[in-house]
A and B are shown apart, each in its own frame.
Chain A
Amino acid sequence: MIAGVIAVVLLLAVAAYACAGGTDYGAGFWDLVAGGAERGERPRRLIDHAMAPVWEVNNVWLIFVLVIMWTGFPVFFQRAFTAMWLPLALAAVGIVLRGAGFALRKPARRPARRRLYGAMFALSSLLTPFFLGAAVGGVASGRVTAATTASADAWANPTSILFGLLAIATTALLGAVFLAADARRFAAPELDGYFRRRALAALVVVAILAVVTLFVTHGDAPHIWHGLTHGVGLVFVVVSALATLATAWLLIRPSGAWSRVTAAGVVASAVLGWGTAQRPYLIPTSLTVAEGAGAPTTLRWLGLVTLVALVLIVPAVALLYWLDTRGELEGLTDADLRRQGAGDEG
């Protein structure tokens, strides 16, 4: 019972990371394909400006996912990290390069340096979600078992590759949708159209990849296929499809204020659909939630810690996003860091 609750918490945390972190990786994706230094200058500045206050928070979700995994489901954590060693190790390296690249690009002034850090940031924004997606694909297709070692076939298989590509496409979608809204917020209307066009393109790719993935799971991950085509899993698939249509409809018109909600809905319900399709397994057909669960005392405490933390975190995160969407958060500029006026000296 409590194990099920914690499994739901884990799934929700994964969904939150997919949405928040995904938006963040997506911004990196569009940074990568923004073109040469001159052509890409305006979108890149928007990306920098829009992401800076929230990117760390977006990525802290991942730490929470890992902690719930090893505290709540230690065996699951052990198996996943043993079998998916390579993609997860590469994802970790990608996370370092990405975060450092982004943080260092801002204070760097020389164009060559900015380009280097920018490339670090953008390229790893592409690779990290791919490897994380591939690892999830390996879990979903049941390739992670107690006996699996870190071999390539655990993650170089159709489901993993498609999950990886799907991860990239969804981050691109989220990134573009949020950046389009940010462009309106920062009164850069030409970038609104720029990112809405890209969001639509990404949406089409997501839809195609999703359909392909669904059919690949039919043969490659039968348990998931069954879960996605029956019961609650099917409901989430339908919701996700409807959200896709709604997003497309909202993206065609200029004032798509709700497109962010629907785009997040696409991703979140897809993640929830995958999670419910796996029931009752953590790793399909080799490890159930009950088998993988840690000590019940720990799970209860983990639930309590989560509850207490939610009371603290939800208002804080809401405040942060609220301030950010109202444009109240801005980085310090050189002008703020210089001494102004006389009478400053003692």
Chain B
Amino acid sequence: MHTAVSLLAGAPAQLLPARSLMAFTLASHIVLVPFGVALPLITLIMHGHGLRRNDPTALLLARRWSAVMAVQFAIGVVTGTVLSFEFGLLWPGMMGRWGDVFGIGFGVEAWAFFLEAVLIAIYLYGWRRLPSRTHFLLALPLPAAALLGAFGILAANSWMNTPRGFSLDPAGHPVDVKIWKAIFTPMFGPEYWHFVVAMLVTAGYVTAGVYAVGWLRGRRDRYHRLGFTIPFTLAAVFTPVQLVLGDSIARQVFHKQPVKFAAMEIVWRTDTHVPEYLFGRMHPDGSISGGIKIPQLDSVLAGFRPDTRVTGLTSVPAADRPTATQATLIHWTFDIMVGIGSVLVVLALWYALVWLRRRGLPASPWFFRCAAVAGPASVVAVECGWITTEVGRQPWIVYQNMRVAEAVTSTRSTSLWIMFGLVVVVYLVVFGSFLAVLLKMRTRWRPADGTKGQGLPPAEGPERETPEKETPETDTPYGPRSAGSRP
């Protein structure tokens, strides 16, 4: 399977703004994805725990997470809608030629997402009036719907990396589409499991991190212990799993997309006994400066033997591979992701050992400091992994079949730059407000909890000097019945 047109020199002027816009909107959206995919599951575990043990603290936590989910899911919906528009606004060339080959995954995703939106609406708004058992049971399909949605998206993304399920007619148009092959492409399995577990781990660490901070500030009540333990345990269990999955996907990339692997590991020339570089920088002539060089290791990691032959970047013409700068970038993001993952495994082991020995949380404040940082760190790892997979695909939008430059819209680059600026401003406002609302929720909830906390300072903490003037809503504005009057 080889390329049709080669647009070597003179990339169209729209390319840079289009890629910047796509990268910016995706980078923003992907921050919300872990919570869209995994927060319902974590909340349901907490909810189920609360129902089984008849534990009001667990139910309170589940209700509060629902309130956060309501805002987060809404912003995820709109930023996700923008991405579907951008397929047409930025990459009409790809959709026009390949839409019917790889679009079916999106078809699955659209319906799964529809189901998720319905179920999540029932869950979020069912707390007050629905019988508690019905409410919980109606939400149980939520994680499955989320997994199905991720299935669709990952099918499309892995198809772009290892396109299959079609043959080309003489004019270069895809014919003879085989849907099954187009969905289950070689990279699909590794990408899917790596992604799903990453979402689970990230959502778990971020959620637990909130309570780790509270713990460090002396709020060591049952509420914080529970809010920390359930998500952290879930994340910690899956962290070693992720290490194995990550190792396996890297090896899959080595086999299925050797040039991408070469960029990830900055390998210039095809060779055996290839050294592994930790960080370091690749120059356009293939030389490498900086970084820590470990002899033989790259070959060993790729094929378990020092004499494994690793394909280098120079195995394909310069126009068909990532540039040296791109290679350096994804080498760094790859190393950062692996580094974060490895540290998180150590953290998970620490937690497991203390749990096995004492059946309790570690006492060391350093553990909670690390746990608090684990959330943001795993978000960084998600971003890094995404950059690695997308930039590593360059210059192809459909690997070895269509260049990004062939797919880009013909709209003038000025319009695209203006749109980019507008979108950046809008997203800054939206995400800034989102964060402000989350912090506001926290400060609103905290004084309500403050009266009974063990290690709590008296009510004149610095953050409590500006009490809210507004009276809290105690009931919905309309409605024949008030809360709790259900017969």
A interface residues (Cβ-Cβ under 8 A, vs B): 45-46, 49, 52-54, 56-57, 59-60, 62-64, 66-68, 70-72, 74-75, 77-82, 85-86, 88-89, 91-93, 95-100, 102-104, 106-110, 117, 149-150, 186-188, 294-295, 297-299, 301-302, 305-306, 308-309, 312-313, 316-317, 319-320, 323, 327-346
The B59-83 residues at the A interface (CB cut-off 8 A) are 60, 63-64, 66-67, 70-71, 73-75, 77-82
In whole angstroms, how far apart are the Cα atoms of A346 and B55 in the complex?
11
The B380-430 residues at the A interface (CB cut-off 8 A) are 409-412, 415, 419, 422-423, 426-427, 429-430
Smallest CB-CB separation from A114: which chain B residue?
B470
B350 at the interface (CB under 8 A from A): no
B457 at the interface (CB under 8 A from A): no
For the complex of A and B, 6 pairs with smallest distance between CB atoms = A346-B222, A294-B100, A81-B88, A71-B103, A78-B96, A74-B99
Contacts of A332 in B (CB 8 A): 63, 66-67, 70, 124, 127-128
In whole angstroms, how far apart are the Cα atoms of A99 and B138 in the complex?
25
Contacts of B458 in A (CB 8 A): none
Cβ 8 A contact of B470, one of A109, A340, A341: A109
Cβ 8 A contact of B411, one of A82, A106, A334: A82
A103 near B472 with CB under 8 A, answer no
B437 near A104 with CB under 8 A, answer yes
Contacts of A98 in B (CB 8 A): 78
Contacts of B111 in A (CB 8 A): 64, 305-306, 308-309, 312-313
In angstroms, how far is the closest chain B Cβ from the Cβ of A34?
15
In angstroms, how far is the closest chain A Cβ from the Cβ of B304?
40
Smallest CB-CB separation from B138: which chain A residue?
A319
Partner-contacting stretch, out of B194-202, B364-372, B475-483: B475-483
Contacts of A85 in B (CB 8 A): 89, 409, 411, 415
B81 near A100 with CB under 8 A, answer no
Q: Mark B447-464, 1 if CB is under 8 A from A, else 0.
A: 011001110000000000
B433 near A334 with CB under 8 A, answer no
Q: With a 10 A CB-CB cut-off, give which of B109, B119, B226, B411 has the most chain A CB atoms.
A: B411
Contacts of A92 in B (CB 8 A): 81-82, 85-86, 89
B410 near A309 with CB under 8 A, answer no
A-B contact pairs, 5 of them (CB 8 A): A64-B114, A85-B411, A333-B128, A336-B63, A345-B452
A301 near B411 with CB under 8 A, answer no
Smallest CB-CB separation from A187: which chain B residue?
B480
Contacts of B226 in A (CB 8 A): 346
B483 near A336 with CB under 8 A, answer yes
Cβ 8 A contact of A77, one of B60, B67, B92, B410: B92
Number of B residues contacting the other chain (C-beta, 8 Å)? Answer: 105
B130 at the interface (CB under 8 A from A): yes
Known: A96-B430, A344-B452. A327 touches B99 (CB 8 A): no
In whole angstroms, how far apart are the Cα atoms of A313 and B104 in the complex?
17
In whole angstroms, how far apart are the Cα atoms of A289 and B258 in the complex?
41
Contacts of B334 in A (CB 8 A): none
Contacts of A345 in B (CB 8 A): 57, 221-223, 452-454
The B264-308 residues at the A interface (CB cut-off 8 A) are none
In angstroms, how far is the closest chain A Cβ from the Cβ of B118?
4
B426 near A96 with CB under 8 A, answer yes
Q: With a 10 A CB-CB cut-off, give which of B64, B100, B426, B477 has the most chain A CB atoms.
A: B100
Known: A74-B95, A331-B70. A104 touches B433 (CB 8 A): yes
B177 at the interface (CB under 8 A from A): yes
B24 at the interface (CB under 8 A from A): no
Known: A77-B99, A333-B475. A82 touches B92 (CB 8 A): yes
In angstroms, how far is the closest chain B Cβ from the Cβ of A108?
6
B478 near A49 with CB under 8 A, answer yes
Smallest CB-CB separation from A321: which chain B residue?
B118
Smallest CB-CB separation from B67: which chain A residue?
A332
In whole angstroms, how far apart are the Cα atoms of A49 and B478 in the complex?
8
B472 near A331 with CB under 8 A, answer no
A337 near B64 with CB under 8 A, answer yes
In whole angstroms, how far apart are the Cα atoms of A188 and B64 in the complex?
29
In angstroms, how far is the closest chain B Cβ from the Cβ of A94?
10
Cβ 8 A contact of B84, one of A66, A82, A117, A302: A66
